[in-house]
Structure 1
Amino acid sequence: MTTITTADGVSLYVKDWGPKDGPAVTLSHGWPLSSDSWESLAFHLASAGFRVVHHDRRGHGRSSQPWDGNDMDHYADDLAQVIEAFDLRDVSAFGFSTGGGEVARYVGRHGTGRVARLGLISAITPLMLQTDANPGGLPLEVFDGFRAAQLADRAQFYRDIASGPFYGFNRPGAKVSQGLIETWFQQGMQAGFRNTYDSIAAFSATDHTEDLKKFDRPTLIIHGDDDQVVPIDASARATKKLVPHATLIEYAGAPHGLPDTHKDRFHADVLAFLKG
């Protein structure tokens, strides 16, 4: 565990797990979480011989909380600086949810010269917001509701997400894990207020269409067909159309937080892709 300082003075907290000579994997986390949200997969891959580098996004976790720069371009540039600081090459870059947008924008801005494989997990790509060109997206009112809820009572808002749609715990018969709820809540509350507020616009209104068109490496897309946070039709299935060579794996009945709710299958699918 260490920190690096970006070109604009932001301190990023970075974990570097596994053998240093192992194949490199980067993991970009979702909103409003931290690199801790990846701990199960990171441990599994590191134990299998991979070097797993995963950082807390600016404004999240143990990274510093800049007032400005809470947007996808800065997120992608931060990822690039992590990759360069650790001199990672032939990287398999995975992103979950907002982190999927980060990975896509990294490719859009920095290319794939250091990239071997790409993974989009429950990702926000290509565009969450409903527009004339993206009629299948979610209406602006949804994200305005997120912002209003954060301003009104961020702590309760985060508890409601974690105990409800994120893991599908609001579905009949769901096996609820209070531990997952608490861990999600703690990670969210560790992040900066301004940073998580601004990030709602970053993950909802950033169009990754052109970024995805630059994906020229083997790509894995994993998404649950009961994702209530990032509905699959406007995300994974739309992304597959823009990246036709990608492998799309749909998990029947799985929620947004499938890396935890479907852990064994998820680990096996990711490892098979990395070794394929």
Structure 2
Amino acid sequence: MATMIMQDGTSIYYKDWGAGQPVVFCHGWPLSSDSWESQMFHLASHGFRCIAHDRRGHGRSSQPWHGNEMDTYADDLATLVEALDLKEIILVGFSTGGGEATRYIGRHGTQRVAKVALVSSVPPLMLKTDTNPDGLPREVFDEIRAGSLKDRSQLYLDIASGPFFGFNRPGTNPSQGMIDSFWMQGMMGGHKNTYDSIKAFSETDFREDLKKFDIPTLVVHGDDDQIVPIVAAGRATARLVPHAKLIVYSGAPHGITDTHKDQLNADLLAFASS
């Protein structure tokens, strides 16, 4: 396996497919780089170099007790980018990975980044606060934490078979393969790491990071996203980044990397090629 050692000794796994302008993918919670395989296969088949890592504590990366928060996630990404000497990157983040990509730009700038795409992503801020009234109540995330401690295997099955892919909506045809893949990726992650990450994706405020976006930005979000509602996320991000292009997938759930992969593949390829 291709791995890289971070400053604190954490081993980060990454995959590196194809050749050409680099596209760097950041995955969601509690998943791994495998969740990007459809997009990576598509873009690598069209002349791009596609790189995706397993965030610390997820997938095949090691499971450190500390550092399971956005600043360290972003610094890990910076270490990978600099070690591979990647330039003119197209940075793509899904859900929690959108937060990671956003915090990377906030902490490390856009010197190595040409474009950024945020897909079903958590910025600007998921948690409801006095200054973020459209966010979700803390009780929502407390329930996820409680489920993780009680039986995280069942929690992942419930999320995947219900709201993540929209399989709880009338008339849907649930894919057991998608459910099983989500569960498998989640269970590969460390218990402490995935637990800590709930706080990271829900409570991190990315509003100041988004103000540092000075490159072409694509925001893609489903308007039936039950995990990261579009009003507090995709639409709010598009307002904070004046030059951002917002694409809304009508009736689409959170997990559009799978449920709407052909549409997303086409949109990402068009954005990368423009």
Q: Give the Cα separation in 2 of the matches to 1:175 and 1:214.
A: 41
Q: Give the Cα separation in 2 of the matches to 1:211 and 1:183.
A: 32
Indicate the residue corresponding to 1:17 in structure 2: 17
Q: Give the Cα separation in 1 of the matches to 2:82 and 2:48.
A: 18
Q: Any idea what SS the aligned residue of 1:158 has?
A: helix
Indicate the residue corresponding to 1:31 in structure 2: 29
Contact 2:57 2:189 in 1 (8 A): yes
Indicate the residue corresponding to 2:180 in structure 1: 182
Q: Structure 1 residue 263: deviation in Å?
A: 1.1
Q: Is 1:46 paired with 2:44?
A: yes
Q: Structure 1 residue 55: deviation in Å?
A: 0.2
Q: Give the Cα separation in 2 of the matches to 1:257 and 1:85.
A: 31
Counterpart AA for 1:127: L
- Residues 141-152 of structure 1 correspond to what in structure 2 (within 5 A)? 141-152=139-150
Q: Give the Cα separation in 2 of the matches to 1:138 and 1:71.
A: 19
Q: Structure 1 residue 175: deviation in Å?
A: 1.6
- Residues 1-276 of structure 1 correspond to what in structure 2 (within 5 A)? 1-19=1-19, 22-276=20-274
Counterpart AA for 1:62: R
Q: Structure 1 residue 259: deviation in Å?
A: 1.2
Contact 2:24 2:89 in 1 (8 A): yes
Question: After TM superposition, where is structure 1 displaced by more than 2 Å over at least 4 residues in a row?
Answer: none
Contact 2:35 2:257 in 1 (8 A): no
Q: Give the Cα separation in 2 of the matches to 1:264 and 1:187.
A: 22
Q: Structure 1 residue 170: deviation in Å?
A: 0.4
Q: Any idea what SS the aligned residue of 1:170 has?
A: coil
Deviations 1:85-113 (A, max 9, x none): 11100000000000000000000000000
RMSD: 0.5
Q: Structure 1 residue 118: deviation in Å?
A: 0.3
Q: Structure 1 residue 81: deviation in Å?
A: 0.8
Question: What is the TM-score when the length of structure 2 is the normalising length?
Answer: 0.99
Q: Give the Cα separation in 1 of the matches to 2:222 and 2:176.
A: 21
Q: Structure 1 residue 8: deviation in Å?
A: 1.0
Deviations 1:31-75 (A, max 9, x none): 000000000000111111100110000000000000000000000
Q: Give the Cα separation in 1 of the matches to 2:268 and 2:248.
A: 13
Unaligned runs of 5+ in 2: none
Q: Give the Cα separation in 2 of the matches to 1:179 and 1:240.
A: 33
Q: Structure 1 residue 244: deviation in Å?
A: 1.0
Q: Any idea what SS the aligned residue of 1:4 has?
A: strand
Q: Any idea what SS the aligned residue of 1:76 has?
A: helix
Counterpart AA for 1:157: L
Q: Structure 1 residue 133: deviation in Å?
A: 0.6
Question: What is the TM-score when the length of structure 1 is the normalising length?
Answer: 0.99
Q: Give the Cα separation in 2 of the matches to 1:221 and 1:175.
A: 27
Q: Give the Cα separation in 1 of the matches to 2:192 and 2:138.
A: 19
Counterpart AA for 2:165: Y
Q: Give the Cα separation in 1 of the matches to 2:264 and 2:117.
A: 12
Counterpart AA for 2:6: T
Deviations 1:3-48 (A, max 9, x none): 00001111000100002xx001000000000000000000111111
Give the length in aligned residue pairs: 274
Q: Give the Cα separation in 2 of the matches to 1:100 and 1:264.
A: 20
Q: Any idea what SS the aligned residue of 1:67 has?
A: coil
